[in-house]
Structure 1
């Protein structure tokens, strides 16, 4: 291993160190240039000096194993690793801009800004969880954004990968994480539940909406464990500008039992983007902490009894899919509508945690002005919403498991595709239209969706519908 401290000008495996960009508790970040082509990157090296925490090395090993396996816009692109026998390093994409850390000077943020940030971070978590990784250190300094707005999660030193040995779990007994954001099960040493990241995101949204950390910043295990039995002050008590809908979502993220949180990051993102369809519970109207005796009763219980243990097979994002049913209310035959219902029900029966999003596209004119009322003076948007609910009523789904969306757009197929991409839809269900001259000339909506969707598409047909 290279001894001593690295310096500007040092060349390691073809990468020249240009500057020290950041020094953290476990690693240094360097700006580097690849000599062969002049491309610039970021190099991360572990803190390996005498007297430093050995967890810095173990976490760096984990990050070296995990980062090459990650793909997509929500993670930094991995370039190269350096061997511990010489000089350990990770070279990755150099992201421009800042983390969310400077935003702390502007707190509290407007509720709509908090919801937007939360939804974009939840998108990134969904992508990560689908790749089998739990971040376990979601905090402002580990979140950046691309120019297009996508959240990027950085620093995987504390992460858990379901297909890799968990070195942090095997070698250390103390919980590792960032105190204000650690989930109760993480405090108790459980690192295999993706819903821990949802708790951390809830703590971050609480902080950004109120300017106050929900559990303070305890530095000892005793203080960390208080979140198992002592609930935070309701956000609306600290900031009356916070709407009940946002408090409902944030406090659901902060539930001690993971099973009471959202089943997946995708469903959390969906709620944040469509809060008007979130069913309100007592969480939304809560204005005071739980009483002294309720907290005392919980404190007297075994800590492990207060949390949920993850299932034997680690929870995956696919266990809680979002299924979108795209309905054409203009000319759908009753038998096709019924067949769509039966197909949707079969899908939901296989996935008890699934959510159904029922869609209709209210097609707009390309040139002529659109009228919001029909010939009888009824609001078209409202009428479509009623039609969607009428279609879904025989399914008898409980509130909160189904949402309804009337999307106004010129291109129905592209609108359905865009909804699927933005909301991390796992399965699109739609009916095939009957044959017509225009359909043959222009092509069908279902054909385009099936060809371009980022997920599974099922096109339901009547026997009389050919091709």
Structure 2
């Protein structure tokens, strides 16, 4: 597969650097779930990059066509993406653009993580300019660290993966668009996770709690590693065994019930009032 820059971008050195970086990462890191590069046996007479052709549809298109995946598929996909990210992290690379468009679904639900244009290599290219903080990728999937000026690490990718899983299950985001609106660390503390049960997504409470921890606004409160996150997706963590309060599971029904009780109380009081001598 050949990628060439658009005519309007041919003089944009930053964009060309990103293209070269994508090919470099594809050649440097090998993993079944990563888009691979191609060994060169030819000379180039113009600017382009070469990557392996990967058939499949985007994960977003898959969800549009099929709806939410079942939990078995979700766990398998989480394991595949985590494996690909771990291979990158071992080489000092952060992908930084984990979103449904950048994950291809192939035969037998085999995934391929693509698009390394936003990747950072040992922190390089994190800053576009000395005076401007660069927030890579899709803002709805980016970790809060990027928005408040904290240096990201592998736990930022854990956040993005957790948001991806949440999106696959619900079609929504755990903080809606709230993360992108925060510009200070104190503001992060005000973010409140929206339970999957509140989205009317029927999942075990422990699975919801697992995703909640992995996308916690504070990186220090997430899992220490992607492998721990994936393990808890497959094995109920006793710490998350409690059942969520009814108000958190079905807030609309609770308020409907309260309103019904109040209405009945008012009717009874009115009957007693008019029947009184």
Please indicate the TM-score interval, normalised by the length of the shorter structure. 0.7 to 0.9
- In structure 2, C-alpha distance between the alignment counterparts of 1:215 and 1:229, rounded to whole Å: 11
Alpha-carbon deviation of 1:222? 3.4
Instruction: Kindly indicate whether residue 124 of structure 2 is the aligned counterpart of residue 166 of structure 1.
Output: yes
Aligned partners of 1:50, 1:130: CA distance in 2, in Å? Answer: 32
Q: Does structure 2 retain, via aligned residues, the 8 Å contact 1:111–1:246?
A: no
Answer yes or no: is 1:72 the counterpart of 2:24: no
Q: Within 5 Å, give how 1:239-250 maps onto structure 2.
A: 239-250=200-211
User: TM-score, length-normalised on structure 2?
Assistant: 0.73
Within the alignment, does 1:87 sit opposite 2:51 as a pair?
no
Higher relative CO (Cα under 8 Å, sequence separation at least 6) belongs to 2
Partner of residue 259, structure 2: none
Shift of 1:208: 1.2
From the two aligned structures, give the one with the greater helix fraction: 2
SS in 1 for 2:35: coil
Cα 1:224/1:157, change in 2 over 3 Å: farther
Would the alpha carbon gap of residues 148 and 222 (structure 1) be closer, same or farther in structure 2, given more than 3 Å must change?
closer
User: Aligned to 2:140, what secondary structure does the other structure show?
Assistant: helix
Alignment match, 1:222: 181
TM-score (norm 1): 0.45
**Rg larger in structure:** 1
Going from structure 1 to structure 2, the CA distance change for 1:138 and 1:228 (only over 3 Å counts) comes to farther
**Partners of 1:204 and 1:176 in 2: how far apart?**
16
CA distance in 2, matches of 1:283, 1:51: 57
Tell me which protein shows more strand as a share of its residues. Answer: 1
Residue aligned with 2:209, SS: helix
- Three-state SS of the structure 2 residue aligned to 1:280 is helix
Give the unaligned 5+ runs of structure 1. 1-41, 290-467
Change (3 A) 1:240 1:73: closer
- How many residue pairs are counted as aligned between the two chains? 240
Task: Provide closer, same or farther for how the CA distance between residues 216 and 169 of structure 1 changes in structure 2, counting only shifts above 3 A.
Answer: same
The answer as to 2:73 corresponding to 1:113 is yes
Q: Partner residue of 2:163?
A: 203
Specify whether residues 121 and 153 from structure 1 end up closer, same or farther in structure 2 by C-alpha distance, changes over 3 A only. same
Mapped contact 1:101–1:140 kept (Cα < 8 A): yes
What is the CA deviation profile of residues 20-67 of structure 1, one whole-angstrom value per residue up to 9, with x for unaligned ones? xxxxxxxxxxxxxxxxxxxxxx12233451699875334324324322
Aligned pair in 2 of structure 1 residues 149, 208: CA closer, same or farther (>3 Å)? closer
Q: Which residue of 1 aligns with 2:196?
A: 235
Please, what is the CA RMSD of the aligned residues?
A: 3.3
Question: Which residues in structure 2 correspond to 1:232-271 (within 5 Å)?
Answer: 232-271=193-232
Give the equivalent residue in structure 2 for 1:124: 84
Distance 1:151 1:228, change over 3 A: farther
Q: Distance in 1 between matches of 2:14 and 2:51?
A: 21
1:60 aligns with 2:19: yes
